[in-house]
């Protein structure tokens, strides 16, 4: 869990750095073509990018748009094969030895204690900023409650006139407080405009109108909401210097966009009055931080920047607005195309969410002993699913050696091997299992789960071809960032037990997009045994990390005169979760259900 979260932070931080750099470059290089509003709205691309993983949970189809950065979580344990321990080479049927389950270990690149320490540091920083944000919200709420209604009839008339000018019908309270040093707009659900009780004297009615229009425009543009969202982004990425810089620039751009909107309403002749109003509140900050308010005040440096902008203000032409919108679209496209890790972990959704035609839930946890896991059965004759532990059944996990079914299908379809000629010579490199240290064909390689055989098939198929083929099959999360040699081995590619069963049902019924002969060839390689009335086909898979078997699969199907049933068992644990153990669990359940054995 710690590694997964740290990986998410690392990948999304890299994406934010790239996209933030693009936004800053566009702002600087094309400043003369950008309107003030567009400069401000450019920062929303950064917010959307950071929110992408959470959007993906609600809209899984977004996961198709991008893929993640290289999977840093695990890597092959050196150049030579490493066995997965004594349980990695067991037999499902110890007496007959029908199926062998071989696996190799991969290693975590980050020690667990270091991952925990870094995660604790991140949580500490996030909690600190969250507490500060909460304190700020409490202060704003207190300020709103203690502020007094403005009773000056002239001020109230100007305020109502400004609301009519902006088309605002909502009742927005106008209050004053001696605790304020500059006007602010506060609140999302119950917004109000707060004025400093002692700092309005000396301002003309025109200058007051500029101030009130500015504050009401913050409400109309929903700037408080966007400010809060950006501060939430800061809580998650408090360690990222570019996020702090972006937030500072965004605040400045927001105020300039609001200044421009005021001048667009009042005309260039109002520049002098507006500039005087800004100077009146120079260096007057409300000290209500973390996005809870938006106001006309600011530091001397910010006020100077805004005064210079106001002094040079010219009404924006239609041509400039068009160019600005085109630049915005260009920037959005660049951000999407150059930050493929925008989704990090969640963008390629880790859960299968499709609805099932008919499904029955049954608690079969007693079969799983001390392991967590799930059992899925699909009866094609009744078009019905039986599921134990639906959450795990929908959770996507590394397929490990169960992927080899589809590696074989793709190689057969491409003509790399054929039903009659699937032989491949061993290169002499020592492997951890004797059965791997010899020439192989599809049947022996599938039976003994020979990694080098299927890796050679994949190399000849090519990653681009594999991506196309598995995309056509809708194979899990379709994340190939782990690299050609290991994306399926405790790495980036993940698939749920429900998806495994769906594909197996199509293989059994010859409805996959491959020739019937190729599918029969793979089925022959998966054949395990027959009990006289039914035939059992299956494949194991074991995920071994740092020498511990943490993830076990046994998937397959049963064919008889009455039809076919596809099934999958997945188990996970600290150790001992092998394909062998998953197979034993599956066979006990199938026998209990009188489906096989």
**Angstrom distances, CA of residue 361 to CA of 372, 374, 377, 551:** 16, 11, 11, 23
Would you please indicate which residues are annotated as catalytic (active-site) residues? 401
Largest CA distance in the chain: 100
115 and 2 Cβ atoms separated by less than 8 Å: yes
> 3-state secondary structure string, 475-544?
CCCCCCCCCCCCCCCCCCCCECHHHHHHHHHHHHCCCCCCCHHHHHHHHHHHEEEECCCEEEEEEEEEEE
502 and 378 Cβ atoms separated by less than 8 Å: yes
Report the distance separating Cα 203 and Cα 180, nearest Å.
17
Residue 436, both tokens: 């791997």
Dump strand ranges (E) for 245-344. Answer: 293-295
Long-range CB contacts for residues 196-205, cutoff 8 Å, separation at least 24: 196/284, 197/148, 199/280, 199/281, 199/284, 200/155, 202/280, 203/276, 203/277, 203/280, 204/273, 205/154, 205/158
Residue 489, both tokens: 């081995």
Report the distance separating Cα 390 and Cα 313, nearest Å.
61
**Angstrom distances, CA of residue 397 to CA of 21, 108, 346, 501:** 34, 16, 13, 14
């Amino acid at each position: 869990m710690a590694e997964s979260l740290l990986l998410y932070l690392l990948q999304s931080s890299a994406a934010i750095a790239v996209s933030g750099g693009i936004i800053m470059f566009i702002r600087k290089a094309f400043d003369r073509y950008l309107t003030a509003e567009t400069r401000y709205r450019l920062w929303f691309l950064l917010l959307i990018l950071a929110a992408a993983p959470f959007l993906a949970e609600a809209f899984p189809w977004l996961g198709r748009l991008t893929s993640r950065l290289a999977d840093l979580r695990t890597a092959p344990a050196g150049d030579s094969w490493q066995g997965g321990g004594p349980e990695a080479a067991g037999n499902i049927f110890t007496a007959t030895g029908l199926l062998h389950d071989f696996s190799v270990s991969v290693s975590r690149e980050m020690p667990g204690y270091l991952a925990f320490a870094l995660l604790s540091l991140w949580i500490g920083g996030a909690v600190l900023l969250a507490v500060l944000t909460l304190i700020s919200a409490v202060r704003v709420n207190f300020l709103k409650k203690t502020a007094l209604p403005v009773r000056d009839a002239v001020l109230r008339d100007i305020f109502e006139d400004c609301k009519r000018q902006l088309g605002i019908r909502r009742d927005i309270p106008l209050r004053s407080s001696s605790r304020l040093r500059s006007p602010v707009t506060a609140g999302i659900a119950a917004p109000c405009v707060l004025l400093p009780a002692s700092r309005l004297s000396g301002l003309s009615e025109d200058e007051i109108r500029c101030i009130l229009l500015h504050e009401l425009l913050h409400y109309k543009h929903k700037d408080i909401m966007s400010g809060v969202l950006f501060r939430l982004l800061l809580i998650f990425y408090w360690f990222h210097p570019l996020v702090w810089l972006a937030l500072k620039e965004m605040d400045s751009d927001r105020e300039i966009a609001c200044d421009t909107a005021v001048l667009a309403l009042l005309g260039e002749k109002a520049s002098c009055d507006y500039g005087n109003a800004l100077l009146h509140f120079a260096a007057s900050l409300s000290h209500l931080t973390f996005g809870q308010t938006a106001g006309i005040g600011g530091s001397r440096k910010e006020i100077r920047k805004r005064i210079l902008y106001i002094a040079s203000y010219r009404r924006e032409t239609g041509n400039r607005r068009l160019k600005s919108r085109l630049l915005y679209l260009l920037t959005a496209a660049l951000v999407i195309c150059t930050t493929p890790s925008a989704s990090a972990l969640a963008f390629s959704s880790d859960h299968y969410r499709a609805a099932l035609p008919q499904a029955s839930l049954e608690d079969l946890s007693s079969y799983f002993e001390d392991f967590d896991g799930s059992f899925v059965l699909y009866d094609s004759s009744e078009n019905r699913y039986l599921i134990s532990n639906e959450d795990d059944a929908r959770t996507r996990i590394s397929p490990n050696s169960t992927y080899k079914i589809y590696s074989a299908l793709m190689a057969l379809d491409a003509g790399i091997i054929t039903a009659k000629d699937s032989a491949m010579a061993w290169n002499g490199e020592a492997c951890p299992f004797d059965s791997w240290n010899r020439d192989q064909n599809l049947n022996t390689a599938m039976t003994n789960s020979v990694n080098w055989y299927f890796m050679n098939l994949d190399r000849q198929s090519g990653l681009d071809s594999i991506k196309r083929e598995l995309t056509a099959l809708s194979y899990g999360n379709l994340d190939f960032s782990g690299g050609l040699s290991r994306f399926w081995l405790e790495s980036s590619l993940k698939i749920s037990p429900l998806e495994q069963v769906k594909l197996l049902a199509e293989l059994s019924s010859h409805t996959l997009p491959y020739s019937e002969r190729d599918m029969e060839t793979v089925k022959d390689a998966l054949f395990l045994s027959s009990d006289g009335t039914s035939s059992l086909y299956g494949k194991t898979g074991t995920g071994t990390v740092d020498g511990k078997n943490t993830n076990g699969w046994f998937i397959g199907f049963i064919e008889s005169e009455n039809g076919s049933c596809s099934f999958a068992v997945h188990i996970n644990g600290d150790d001992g979760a092998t394909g062998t153990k998953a197979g034993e669990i599956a066979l006990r359940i199938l026998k209990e259900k009188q489906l096989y054995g």
